[in-house]
Amino acid sequence: MPPPLPNPKETPRSRPRVHPAEGQRHQALQIESRSSLPVHRKYPYLEILRSVFMSLAAIIASVGMIWLLISTISVFRMLTSIGTGEVNFGRVFVGAIFTLVPSFACLSYGLVLMAISEGIRVILDIQSNTLISARALREAVRR
């Protein structure tokens, strides 16, 4: 058998009566007691993930730049040997394609990883600024 329901006339009031001037202060104290804001909130794994993305971006962009440098040198060496008859123009064109496509792919992928890293940083900054604003609002309501 379920317990009997309390009579609403017999239950005590949930909030004591306060003077209207004290009402805002009382409300602010209730808000503060219901939700306490942390002093500073850290997300260490997001910071680590951001660092990993930035490191990978730097490594991949560096590999792309090194690939571009090395293959550009080889394409220019092939261009100088066209006149000798050892290499035709089709080989130089294919060499240039194999030079540009991987290096631009590496650079693009590095930029995407860097953008992801900066996006995580923006999200962490928004969270930090929201926490600061909430603390300031709580102080303003308290006064």
- pLDDT, tens digit (0-9, with 9 covering 90-100), for 54-106: 999 999 999 999 998 988 888 788 777 766 666 677 777 887 888 888 888 99
What single string gives the DSSP state of each residue in 106-141? HHHHHHHHHHHHHHHHHHHHHHHHHHHHHHHHHHHH
Whether residue 97 lies inside any domain: the answer is yes
Average pLDDT in the chain: 77
Q: Model-level pTM? A: 0.61
Whether residue 77 lies inside any domain: the answer is yes
Whether residue 137 lies inside any domain: the answer is yes
Whether residue 9 lies inside any domain: the answer is no
Residue-range definition of the domain harbouring residue 50: 43-142
Whether residue 18 lies inside any domain: the answer is no
Whether residue 4 lies inside any domain: the answer is no
* Residues 28 and 142 sit within 8 Å (Cβ to Cβ): yes
Domain count, the chain: 1
DSSP 8-state assignment for residue 50: H
